[in-house]
Amino acid sequence: MTPFCSTTGWIERGENGGDLSQLSIARQMGMDLSFESLVAKYGEDNARYLWDELCNTTKNYSQLTFIEMGVEPDESFEQRTREAAVQRGWKFEKVEGDLSLIQRLVDGVWDEKEFLVVPPGWRVVAKYDEGIVTTEEAKP
């Protein structure tokens, strides 16, 4: 089973996503509604089905993993994650994160194995193999 993960950034910004929450897939699909909101809108039987299928996004998890990124001001974020795992009856794990990809992005060290660099006048297109996407020169 895949662990549910948490980082300092997720904890600081909360589950609501802040100013960008309206752009989230969960918001656009109605997956961020409370059970009570679903009952009011669709009735209890339909709400239960919708909640189980769409909104109960942690139903298949049994572990909460805290990813330590090295930017935490203290142990409070790890502790909050531990407490959340205990409240859910889940296993807790702490792993070390890595900011090196972000550093390479900022520094302009763009190895084609890690980054898709799109030159001026080119565009991103689907690639129907293991590459998923590629670039091609845009046609006027």
Collapsed DSSP state (helix, strand, coil) of residue 8:
helix
pLDDT on residue 17 = 54
Q: Which residue has the higher pLDDT, 58 or 95?
A: 95
How high is the pLDDT of residue 32?
73
| H-type alpha helices, 31-73 | 35-42, 44-50
Q: Which two tokens stand for residue 65?
A: 């993993």
Each residue's pLDDT tens digit, 102-138: 999 999 999 989 999 999 999 999 999 888 899 999 9
Residue type, 128: Y
DSSP H or E stretch at residue 85: helix 76-88
Of residues 19 and 60, the one with the higher pLDDT is: 60
pLDDT the model gives residue 13: 65
Summarize the confidence of residues 4-13 as an average pLDDT: 68
pLDDT, position 29: 66
Tell me the three state secondary structure of residue 116. Answer: coil
Residue written as token pair 């006048």: 121
Q: What pLDDT score was predicted for residue 55? A: 75
Domain boundaries, the chain: 4-98, 111-137
pLDDT of residue 3: 56
Q: Tokens 């302009």 label which residue?
A: 108
State the average pLDDT over residues 53-76: 87
Helix (H) / strand (E) element for 63: namely: strand 63-68
Q: How crowded is residue 75: how many other Cβ atoms within 10 Å of its Cβ?
A: 10
Does 44 score more than 80 pLDDT? yes
State pLDDT tens for residues 69-91. Answer: 988 889 999 999 999 999 989 99
The identity of residue 138, as a single letter, is A
